[in-house]
Chain A
């Protein structure tokens, strides 16, 4: 089966030479959930907009569902569902009305459109609210309606641009369940962008990290974490005086790393397997241990390792890029 999404050297340059996307290669298999992770302004949305036929690539090419986004955009549009960053939903229409409108726009017959609307309302848990105006919906309800709208025509590839940004934790988890179900029960390929490491970790089978318009790392969350390094063993001591003795023990199984007073830490190449031995030797050395914790590297660590900066808080870059995108739209 050909990949659901394939991009080769994808570039998007805005006016003033800003390269929002700077040569991205992607290959997402059919049925995969792919997480596109990066800070604000990294080029996530611009990439999605190109894949969803909303922006013409400046260079490179992309195939979605087997169709070229530049040469056959109409075929791409029939195959994809798109839920973009700010849920663009009429506040003055009801959920049911919007779903039926979407059905008509996608060429469903009246009866079929009605049937799909009811099924989707049920699926995203909006039956009760179906006849209320969207203006009265909570943020989570809006996102779920947005998802339902994108599903009216049963697309084979779904693009979700930051599906849970700004949602409370409970709504976020509901949304995650919905995305998982979509993928599991319908085999829909999901391409989601996120700036939340946890979200990528939870949902995505494979993660691509984008920074400054370039893909800097790609792999399963486990592979990526493994690339960063070994898990860290943190030993909290009952008595601070034992620190040198404890450090001596840890140094035999791993590489010592700086730790706060009263704790000793080391990276263990053998991971959890080495922990039992460490405990025994600490005991033999007469070191009293108050706490023991083995910390796996997080995607956050991966991000820092690959980009040299943390994920949260890239303010100015974001504003600059938003301005570039806005000025580029009306050519």
Chain B
């Protein structure tokens, strides 16, 4: 019996990569073409960055404990990038849930698409968008007078952060999507993520915090992730901070991918 026009090489890695790239391209296209999908990820972080920079422009140098920094914008841009990645990841998770709700996921499952591509396609698209966004935010900050002290290497590290964090947050979004199958449920996590973000050093330095708030921010991984990026932008921070941040980012990404792979397998076990 002839089986279609093509005989697919079973488990061919090259094919899986092509499938992943095609699905990543689709998620980028469908995100970029829907303003509701990318507008929040650009708008909120930039507006917040502008507001904080306007409000606390005098803080560096005058506020005791504020880290040495040329201007507040230099300090704020890393938080904005992280916030953008966070919103992007939730959007990616919600889009994945929409694929499940709408039946696109079923179409993929009923076709000989590599099971890894189902997951990595969506995450790959998120990485591409996260990297673009980080570059855009850095460019805007530089236009308004910030400087990346780490130079070209610093930009690269920040972009690497954005890429890894896109995997981590996107993976978490996908986990929620696989678990609930509902885009609304995924979107519903937004407030929680935002609270986590504000209880960290994303927008203000830990040095100016006090009491229980400081304790929470100390333990909040987001603090260390943002500070890892920030160390590349502002001067006078040791490389150790970046390495700690990168370590946490990689750990979270691995955890998120592992968990989503597990949940995908669980969902597919229902299928043949």
Interface pair A88/B106, CB less than 8 Å apart: yes
Given A82-B107, A90-B104, A92-B30, decide whether A73 and B5 contact each other with a Cβ distance below 8 A. no
Chain B nearest CB from A154 CB (Å) reads 4
Residues of A within 8 Å of B62, CB to CB, are none
Residues of B within 8 Å of A92, CB to CB, are 29-30, 33-34
C-alpha spacing A155/B180, complex, angstroms: 32
C-alpha spacing A53/B271, complex, angstroms: 6
Given A66-B1, A73-B272, A84-B103, decide whether A106 and B22 contact each other with a Cβ distance below 8 A. no
Chain B nearest CB from A163 CB (Å) reads 14
Chain B residue with the shortest CB-CB distance to A146: B107
Chain A nearest CB from B33 CB (Å) reads 4
C-alpha spacing A78/B34, complex, angstroms: 33
Interface pair A154/B106, CB less than 8 Å apart: no
Given A78-B4, A329-B181, decide whether A88 and B272 contact each other with a Cβ distance below 8 A. no
Chain A nearest CB from B209 CB (Å) reads 40
Q: What is the size, in residues, of chain A's interface with B at 8 Å between Cβ atoms?
A: 51
Q: What is the size, in residues, of chain B's interface with A at 8 Å between Cβ atoms?
A: 45
Interface of A is mostly: loop
Q: Does B2 contact A (CB under 8 A)?
A: yes
Q: Does B10 contact A (CB under 8 A)?
A: yes
Interface pair A54/B8, CB less than 8 Å apart: no
Interface hub of A54, A329, A331 (most chain B Cβ within 10 A): A54
Residues of A within 8 Å of B116, CB to CB, are none
C-alpha spacing A112/B18, complex, angstroms: 15
C-alpha spacing A149/B103, complex, angstroms: 14
Q: Does B179 contact A (CB under 8 A)?
A: yes
Given A105-B19, A106-B112, decide whether A88 and B107 contact each other with a Cβ distance below 8 A. yes
C-alpha spacing A92/B10, complex, angstroms: 32
C-alpha spacing A153/B1, complex, angstroms: 15
Interface pair A105/B30, CB less than 8 Å apart: no
Q: Does B3 contact A (CB under 8 A)?
A: yes
Given A79-B3, A79-B4, A105-B113, decide whether A331 and B266 contact each other with a Cβ distance below 8 A. yes
Interface pair B10/A74, CB less than 8 Å apart: yes
Interface pair B272/A69, CB less than 8 Å apart: yes
Chain B residue with the shortest CB-CB distance to A68: B272
Q: Does A203 contact B (CB under 8 A)?
A: no
C-alpha spacing A330/B182, complex, angstroms: 11
Chain A nearest CB from B28 CB (Å) reads 11
Interface pair A154/B4, CB less than 8 Å apart: yes
Interface pair B271/A73, CB less than 8 Å apart: yes
Interface pair A106/B6, CB less than 8 Å apart: yes
Interface membership of chain A positions 66-93, coded 1 if the CB is closer than 8 angstroms to chain B and 0 otherwise: 1001100111111110101111111011
Residues of A within 8 Å of B271, CB to CB, are 53-56, 73
Interface membership of chain A positions 1-39, coded 1 if the CB is closer than 8 angstroms to chain B and 0 otherwise: 010000000000000000000000000000000000000
Chain B nearest CB from A123 CB (Å) reads 15
Q: Does A107 contact B (CB under 8 A)?
A: yes
Given A53-B272, A88-B102, decide whether A78 and B112 contact each other with a Cβ distance below 8 A. yes
15 intermolecular pairs with C-beta atoms under 8 Å apart: A50-B272, A53-B109, A53-B110, A57-B272, A74-B112, A75-B3, A78-B8, A79-B1, A88-B104, A89-B104, A92-B34, A93-B30, A104-B19, A106-B112, A330-B266
10 tightest Cβ-Cβ pairs between the two chains A and B: A88-B103, A73-B272, A104-B22, A53-B272, A92-B33, A88-B104, A153-B4, A82-B110, A154-B5, A77-B112
Residue ranges of B at the interface with A (Cβ–Cβ < 8 Å):
1-10, 12, 15, 18-19, 22-23, 25-26, 29-30, 33-34, 99, 102-113, 178-181, 266-267, 269-272
